[in-house]
């Protein structure tokens, strides 16, 4: 297990080539959870933790057994299977529980370090349990909707005791599996004497203890490492799901626009123009009604142009504006107006002699009107033409 730092550095380049994205958690980098068991995770669990977790405990326990039993006086204290002081059955039970607790603590630290350093990805395809008791056992909140906090085995004495209890539960399961098998093998190897089985100082106790520790490490170490990798994915998934409660993209931009559009309906100073509310009992009902009407009038646009501008800003027109017909040139209009005025003046001059003759009783003349006024009008029109 002591070579994991070197392995994490060796596989960091491989993780970058695979395009694994990193998410930042404070000062460390943790890779995104995987959707399947990758080759690197398989190597991490079954080669480093499996084979490595088998060889190292086997060597340590072989050395311990060699020191314990080599110097024993088997004539005074024979090495037996069940009887004290040298009992291999008791040694097997102690080995199972002690090794399980120590391995659990070491794996919690090493896997946490490898995750923070980016040496391995969390296992993200395992769903979290729903049962409240199972969730508590796996260091999850009993409520499935609660946030998964980071696991800190040594943050407090209570947390440390909780880790020990969980490791002892795993040790109990390992004891039920391995201890009966170990006893059966020892009865086949030992020499039966007086209702028990005896063993020599070398090599049966040492080899037995080494094999037991190796098999225990091979079975439990990958399981412990996989648990911490899966739990890291649950924690990472919980942090990602929390973002669903965050503000959706674009809302921070749309909301101010809606607020500004709503605020554009009222001119600046409309609230201040309303003034403070009159004190109760200081004015009559008529004064209160006048103040309310004044506030409503102040909230309305001051001019029709301003109202049209605001309406155009809030509700832009959907139909194209009507194009006015082109107007005639000013000079052409002036010539036409002058011609009409000359004709009217000529008609007035023609009408005046007829009216004068009617007053004096003379018969109206049937002769055509004098062409002088008409000629004068035509002359005026020619002068105005360019």
Per residue in 201-222, pLDDT tens? 888 899 999 999 999 999 999 9
Beta bridge partners, 31, equal 22
- Domain assignment present for residue 67? The answer is yes
CA 159-221-37 angle, 5° bins: 105
Overall average pLDDT of the 349-361 stretch? 68
Range of weakest confidence among 276-280, 324-328, 382-386: 276-280
| Residues spanned by the domain of 372 | 332-384
17 domain residue, yes or no? yes
Residue 377 lies in a domain: yes
pLDDT surpasses 60 at 12: no
Q: How far is CA 83 from CA 62, 193, 197, in A?
A: 21, 12, 9
| 209 and 357 both lie in a single domain | no
Last residue of a domain, one of 240, 263, 295: 240
Helix, strand, coil fractions of the chain, as percent rounded to 5: 65, 5, 30
Of residues 159 and 320, the one with the higher pLDDT is 159
Q: In DSSP terms, which residues pair with 193 in a beta bridge? A: 196
Same domain flag for 211 and 358? no
Mean pLDDT for the stretch of residues 314-327: 51
Q: Is residue 305 part of a domain?
A: no
Handedness of CA 9, 11, 16, 19 (dihedral sign): negative
Confidence of residue 245 (pLDDT cuts 50, 70, 90): very low
Six-digit token string for 234: 């649950």
Q: Which one is predicted more confidently, 61 or 367?
A: 61
Q: Using CA atoms, how far apart are residues 33 and 36, in angstroms rounded to an integer?
A: 9
For residues 56 and 163, state if they share a domain.
Answer: yes
Claim to verify: residue 32 and residue 176 sit in the same structural domain? yes
Average the pLDDT over 63-90 and give the result. 88
Is 281 within a domain?
no
Q: Is 70 exceeded by the pLDDT of residue 301?
A: no
Contact 153, 105 (CB under 8 A): yes
Residue range 295-309: average pLDDT? 51
Residue 31 and residue 133 in one domain: yes
- Whether residues 68 and 182 share a domain: the answer is yes
Query: What are 191's strand-pairing partners?
Result: 198
Q: Is residue 177 part of a domain?
A: yes
For the cut 70, the answer to whether the pLDDT of residue 118 exceeds it is yes
Mean pLDDT for 184-211 is 89
Per-residue confidence (pLDDT) for residue 257, from 0 to 100 = 38
Q: Is the pLDDT of residue 5 over 70?
A: no
- Mean pLDDT check: name the lowest of 70-84, 92-106, 182-196, 298-312: 298-312
Chain-wide mean pLDDT for the chain?
Answer: 71
- Residues 336, 236, single domain; the answer is no
Q: Are residues 340 and 235 in the same domain?
A: no
**Same-domain check for residues 353 and 227:** no
**Domain end marker among 182, 207, 240:** 240
Looking at 83-87, 91-95, 151-155, 299-303, which range is the least confident one? 299-303
Please indicate, yes or no, if residue 293 is contained in any of the structural domains: no
Evaluate whether 118 touches 27 at the Cβ level (below 8 Å). Answer: no
Q: Which domain-ending residue is among 177, 210, 240?
A: 240
Place of tokens 């607020």: 259
Q: How many domains does the chain have?
A: 2
Identify the pLDDT of residue 215. 96
In a domain, 12, yes or no: yes
Q: What percent of the chain has pLDDT over 90?
A: 24
């Amino acid at each position: 297990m002591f070579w994991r730092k070197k392995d994490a550095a060796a596989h960091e380049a491989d993780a970058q080539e695979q395009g694994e994205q990193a998410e930042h958690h404070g000062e460390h980098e943790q890779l995104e959870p995987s959707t399947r068991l990758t080759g690197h995770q398989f190597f991490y669990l079954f080669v480093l933790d499996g084979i490595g977790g088998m060889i190292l405990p086997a060597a340590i326990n072989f050395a311990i057994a060699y020191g314990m039993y080599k110097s024993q006086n088997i004539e005074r204290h024979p090495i037996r299977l069940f009887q004290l002081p040298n009992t291999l059955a008791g040694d097997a039970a102690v080995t199972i529980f002690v090794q399980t607790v120590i391995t659990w603590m070491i794996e919690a630290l090493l896997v946490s370090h490898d995750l923070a350093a980016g040496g391995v990805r969390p296992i993200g395809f395992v769903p979290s349990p729903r049962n409240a008791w199972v969730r508590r056992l796996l260091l999850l909140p009993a409520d499935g909707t609660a946030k998964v906090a980071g696991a800190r085995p040594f943050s407090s004495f209570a947390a440390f005791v909780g880790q020990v209890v969980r490791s002892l539960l795993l040790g109990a399961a390992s004891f039920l599996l391995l201890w009966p098998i170990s006893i059966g093998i020892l009865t086949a190897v030992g020499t039966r004497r007086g209702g028990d089985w005896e063993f020599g100082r070398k090599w049966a106790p040492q080899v037995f203890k080494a094999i037991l520790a190796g098999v225990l490490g091979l079975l439990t170490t990958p399981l412990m490492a996989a648990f911490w990798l899966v739990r890291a994915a649950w924690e990472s998934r919980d942090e990602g799901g929390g973002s669903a409660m965050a503000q959706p993209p674009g809302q921070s931009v749309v909301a101010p626009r809606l607020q500004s559009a709503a605020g554009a309906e009222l001119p600046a100073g409309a609230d201040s123009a309303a003034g403070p509310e009159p004190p109760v009992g200081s004015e009559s009902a008529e004064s209160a009604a006048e103040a309310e009407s004044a506030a409503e009038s102040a909230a309305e646009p001051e001019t029709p142009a301003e109202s049209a501008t605001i309406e155009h800003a809030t509700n832009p027109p959907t139909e194209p504006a009507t194009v006015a017909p082109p107007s005639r040139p000013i000079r052409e209009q002036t010539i036409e107006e002058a011609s009409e005025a000359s004709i009217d003046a000529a008609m007035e001059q023609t009408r005046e002699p007829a009216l004068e003759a009617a007053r004096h009783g003379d018969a109206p003349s049937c002769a055509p009107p004098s062409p002088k006024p008409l000629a004068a009008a035509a002359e005026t029109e020619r002068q105005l033409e360019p």
